[in-house]
Structure 1
Amino acid sequence: MEPHLLDFACKIVADQMEERRALSTLQGISVITPTFIDQWSIDEEVNATPFLTRILEAAAQTQYAKEHNKKKKPEKMCQVVTRQLLYQSSNRCLGFQAEFGLFLWSTGCARQTIDALFRCGLSICYDSVLNLVESLSHHCDSQSLEISKDIHAFNYDNMNLSTSIFVEQRGSSGPSKVSSGTFGVLYKLYNAVREHMLIAPIMKRFKASNGLHFNHNIKPSVNQLASFHDQLLVVIIQSLTSHNTGFECIAKHPLLLHKVRRAIPIGHKTDHYLLRATTIEQATTRGNLLFHDEIYLNQLRRTSESLSKYAIPSFNDQLTNARIRSAQILRAKDVNAWNRREIFQLGFGLFHLCLNLVWAILHVHRGHINHVGSLAYFFALMEKARLGNDQPDYHR
């Protein structure tokens, strides 16, 4: 019966592959958009070839392995194999191959490697990958253009790109070994209200203000002090439970966890939209002004009048913020809010705040043996209380 079973199996596989081709056919790489990449998953794809998949799984593992293996599973590999066979039968079924080709290109795989995997049916060819990257960049430009018309945040930083070691160096007339530039990102603001972002009331109130006063503007409230005190206690106790044995049973106690303040919805992620990188360096005031014009006037095709209505929050490192402030001072007498760069309402990144605080602690306390001795004695007392010893173990 084996020849008859083989013919019967081939007919079933051919029918199921025909159905799967109809579900997986794409018109070309142009239909692969950022939305398609976000929504597509090989695990969530409808398996229209269960008969073939079952045969592949039987070939991928022995019966003993199927019964005893707990970590090694062949399902993922069989899904990839079916995608290879599908792409071999029709080059229009390229969803998996296109995404895997993007992965290879983004991780720096050589052109020969990508083309070799293309011959194996695992990826599209290298030229198609480059075309796909260009197509996706146009889709990203369209998304950024739409987001820029609404209220948003704008952040940017410098970048350095190294060219290949095989690029001939010909001095100032040839390509440089390292190219410097700037890249920007637009962020969609969560729970923002358009009326609150109007730049005219913000600047009117700013010009009428008398500056900051510690007791009125900076001094924390009783509620804030209580919250800070609770969070600080949790940090100290977590240090003890993380680096000393015997406290594992209470490490996850609700009273020893941070209290949530102004929590965002679970699973929420800030939507961000990348802009095209430029070779304009942002280390100077003039470079920042040119970069602003390049992004908003050239790439996003906005006008200075339309940009002068709403504020744009911008969170950057200290150098970038200093250059933006210098640009605002330099153009303080210009004709509109965009040219005066008043629309950029600056804030510091929390990462850089932490760096400054760490530097301040090291600058003030480095080499102060009395502080180190106090900490050592404190931990020794804690160890004594935990072990019940008569004398603290200072060495420990």
Structure 2
Amino acid sequence: VASADLGTDVLSSLLQALHNAQTEVEQEVKALSQNTAPDIDTWITRAKDLQADILRSRETARQIVAEHEANKNLRAQGEEVGRKVHLLENEVAFEETLAGTLEHVAYANDVLDAAQEHAVVGNVKDSLREIEEADASIAGLEGLKDTRACGLLQTRAAQLRESLCETTTEFWNSFVEVHHEERTIIFTGHGLTAAVEGAVVPVITFELMVTAAKGLEIFDSLMQKMSKDIERTIIKPRLMIDEDGQVAKVVVSKDELSCTQRHGDISYSTLFADLQHIVDFFASHLPAEVGVVLSQSLIPAMSLRLEEHWLEPAVPLNIKEMPAFQDTLARVSQLADHIERHGWRGTKQLRVWVQNAP
């Protein structure tokens, strides 16, 4: 019905209007395209440049990754080379240390050989010096103290030192023979002939044994033993009065001191004369330095027994006994003076007793 109302004229007008509108739109689009064409070209150019930059960035990134991988390989190779160098350095250091240690051990062993050779021919001083040097060398083997080599060196040095101690003690005892049962002490002379042929020291003296004993650090123990032996063998028997009222008789010969015999002379004059003879005997037979050391223990021990068994009982109970007591005090002072003239010590107890006497 609607189409029936549209005539030919109307349709023609509509078609013309549509054609005009289409033409107008096309012209506007064409004009718009002409106006925006430069911008589009710029966008296209920029897009192409951006794409090129992206491609270059990708290539750069690829190269960076490749270089990083190459650097990692180089670093790994460098670390491996460094590790090998470190191992080689450690090996060289170990070999140098081992060589030095072996030389050190060989040196210590050679020094012990020299010490033994000196000891065999009686050269005690040089033997002691070599042992001390060997001890110092062995002590310098740091880090090897628990090894067998170091243990063998220490054992050998200890055995050599022990052997020297035994030899020194044996000679010492042969110089001063103590016979407890016979209450006799004998000095065998001023020297003993070395038993080894070709000995550096053909005659072994007591002074040499003193040097050896000091170097071996047994001098003090030997002196203590000597003091106790003299006290037990000579001093005690002379100062003790037995049940029969007798005392040991001091008999002095050239190199022998004996208290074997007994007699009834218990006078103070004989007592102090005997004590002076005892002091003179040892002072004349012992080296001066040995006598001084001996006096430091022997004289106080003798003074203690003298005070207990003779001086205290001599304290007067009445006026009549005073002259005899004064004579005893004088004898005590004279004994102290006599001891000190030898350069001996230990008389303080005697001096104090005289000063404090009633």
TM-score under structure 1 normalisation?
0.26
TM-score under structure 2 normalisation?
0.28
Which entry has the higher C-alpha Rg, 1 or 2? 2
* Bigger proportion of residues as helix: 2
Greater RCO (Cα-Cα under 8 Å, separation 6 or more): 1
